[in-house]
Chain A
Amino acid sequence: MPNPWVFIGLFIIIAAIIPIGAIVVALILGPKKPNPIKQSTYECGLETVGDSLVQFKAQYYVFALAFLIFDVEAVFLFPWAIAMNKMPLYVALEGVIFIVILVAGLVYTWRKGALEWV
């Protein structure tokens, strides 16, 4: 039995060929008559002012930090979830303590007002 990841790689290649092929076919078949008005940035009929690639205020900055912590937590919980009932009781309890610590962190972030959308 060969390694299944080889076939996942093969699948990704086949899956990538389809959108690339679609874009190429459309490139060949579609008309190409560009002009400056057509290629201008769409903004509901108004002339665009300035560039859009500016330093934008990411309002979810704090959310992103919290997300990082909890996402790593979820990944840590997977091995625990599998092994929990094959191990002694204290392993299960340690997982519970781990979750409780993170809940405390969530409560702290919440009380600090970091989860308010501003």
Chain B
Amino acid sequence: MIDLALVLEWVIKSLVVIFMLLGGFAYLTWFERRILARMQTRVGPNRAGWQGLLQPVADAVKLVFKEELIPARADKVIFVLAPILTVVPATVLAVVIPFGTQVILFGRQVNLAVADINVGILFLMAVASVAVYGIVLAGWSSNNKFALMGGMRSTAQMISYELALGLSFVLVALMADSLQLSEIVEAQRTMWFVVLQPVGAIVFLIVTLAEVNRAPFDMPEAEQELAAGFHSEYSGMKFALFFMAEYQKMIVISIIAVTLFFGGYLGPFIGRFPWLGPVYVLGKVVALLFGMVWIRATLPRIRYDRLMDLGWKVLLPLVLGLVLITATGILLADEFGNSLVWSIPVVSILAGFLTVGLVDRSLRRKFNALR
């Protein structure tokens, strides 16, 4: 017999998470446009409502009333299905994230996570790789050369960066001794994993940028060469759905980064006021999102062969090395006392500097050969 109140509680929690992501998406577009504008000494959208805060509403209304074009030569079923397939994984990623411990609400103990499953990390890995299908199918079904190239590029990018992503998940599993996300957060009570494994956190942030197709890795939709890439043929609401998927993925991937490396919902006074959990998550996520926008404003798009080289020849060997370093460090700490755990960050940072040095040398050599 399933408890009806429990089902209701879970449905409400699911709806809260989904609408939080939708609202986050709407205001992330505003946030990004305002910040990019400020960084380029423009003003940005400031007409609709106070400080332009109603701009997302205006955009949504405009997009709903637009005509939806389906090219005559497109594969119509897949063409309509592709945006849905892109949005759903982006939302579903958020289901396993713990936003806090337990709070008392209407006399009930409410767990601030929709489904805290014991294989959380594997679930994240699986769903994150499903997300690329929508993009590839969109590119293929449009029957457009630009779109096909965009879809192809997104696959190539995914297979290059998924590896480093999976291995940085392994790093977290090594340090936390668990795949359950709430236990991973609890394992960071004494120390955030970004302190223990700073290079792993940096690799994770780079790789997630590539996973969500953000600048400087936005090759599948490179405006200047592919005319919007995989969504060239999309208009109106279907285009908005691709946009929504990208921004929701940005938000969710920031939440994942916060959970895995930056202490999740932990912060001062969390034991006494469990309601602070979601607030801390929000604060850390906004900081990471600001970083993503900053990177977009700063770095030019990376060349395509360089992108593949970075994934396969730099990040993959580096993160394999980090797995070995972390495993050794944990074993040493177990055998000869806990202070040896500090060998992990020290050796990792050395490995990081070594990698940067080797990349620098190889690029210099290429440059000199050209001269």
Interface residues of A (CB under 8 A from B): 2, 4-5, 7-8, 10-12, 14-16, 18-20, 22-23, 25-27, 29-34, 36, 38-44, 48, 51-53, 56, 58-60, 63-64, 66-67, 70-71, 74-75, 77-78, 81-82, 84-85, 89, 92, 95-96, 99, 102-103, 106, 110, 115-117
**Contact present for A19 and B170 (CB under 8 Å):** no
Residues of B within 8 A of A52 (CB): 142-145, 147-148
**Contact present for B162 and A71 (CB under 8 Å):** yes
A91 to chain B, nearest CB (A): 11
Query: Which residues in window 298-349 of B have CB below 8 A to A?
Result: 304-305, 308-309, 312-313, 316-317, 320, 323-324, 327, 330-331, 334
Question: When the two chains form the complex, which single residue of A58, A64, A96 contacts B327, counting CB atoms closer than 8 Å?
Answer: A96
Interface status of B355 (Cβ within 8 A of chain A): no
Cα(A74)–Cα(B53), bound, Å = 44
Question: When the two chains form the complex, which single residue of B115, B178, B331 contacts A92, counting CB atoms closer than 8 Å?
Answer: B331
A32 to chain B, nearest CB (A): 7
A85 to chain B, nearest CB (A): 5
Residues of B within 8 A of A66 (CB): 312
| Residue from B123, B173, B317 with most neighbouring chain A CB atoms (10 Å) | B173
A114 to chain B, nearest CB (A): 10
Interface status of B202 (Cβ within 8 A of chain A): no
**Contact present for A56 and B88 (CB under 8 Å):** no
A73 to chain B, nearest CB (A): 8
Interface residues of B (CB under 8 A from A): 2-3, 6, 10-11, 14-15, 17-18, 22, 63-73, 80, 83-84, 87-88, 91-92, 95-96, 114-117, 121-123, 125, 140, 142-148, 152, 155-156, 159-160, 162-163, 166-167, 169-170, 173-174, 177-179, 227, 232-233, 236-238, 240-241, 244, 304-305, 308-309, 312-313, 316-317, 320, 323-324, 327, 330-331, 334
Residues of B within 8 A of A29 (CB): 64-65
Residues of B within 8 A of A38 (CB): 69
Residues of A within 8 A of B167 (CB): 74, 77
Write 22 A-B pairs (CB below 8 A) sorted by A numbering. A10-B10, A14-B14, A15-B18, A19-B241, A22-B241, A30-B65, A30-B66, A31-B65, A34-B69, A41-B143, A42-B146, A52-B148, A70-B163, A78-B121, A82-B177, A84-B174, A85-B330, A92-B331, A106-B320, A115-B308, A115-B312, A115-B313
**Contact present for A89 and B331 (CB under 8 Å):** yes
The A interface, classified by DSSP as helix, strand, loop or mixed, is: helix
B226 to chain A, nearest CB (A): 11
Question: When the two chains form the complex, which single residue of A25, A42, A43, A103 contacts B64, counting CB atoms closer than 8 Å?
Answer: A25
Residues of B within 8 A of A34 (CB): 69
Question: When the two chains form the complex, which single residue of B22, B68, B159, B316 contacts A26, counting CB atoms closer than 8 Å?
Answer: B68
| Residue from A11, A34, A92 with most neighbouring chain B CB atoms (10 Å) | A11
**Contact present for A26 and B63 (CB under 8 Å):** yes
Contact A30-B236, Cβ < 8 Å, known A7-B114, A23-B80, A82-B178: yes
Contact A63-B64, Cβ < 8 Å, known A44-B227, A92-B331: no
Residues of B within 8 A of A23 (CB): 80, 83-84, 237-238, 241
Cα(A105)–Cα(B249), bound, Å = 33
**Contact present for B308 and A16 (CB under 8 Å):** no
Cα(A41)–Cα(B232), bound, Å = 10
**Contact present for A26 and B66 (CB under 8 Å):** yes
Question: When the two chains form the complex, which single residue of B170, B173, B227, B240 contacts A22, counting CB atoms closer than 8 Å?
Answer: B240
Contact A59-B156, Cβ < 8 Å, known A26-B237, A41-B144: yes
Question: When the two chains form the complex, which single residue of A5, A14, A59, A116 contacts B15, counting CB atoms closer than 8 Å?
Answer: A14
With both beta carbons as reference points, the residue of chain B lying nearest to A66 in the complex is identified as: B312
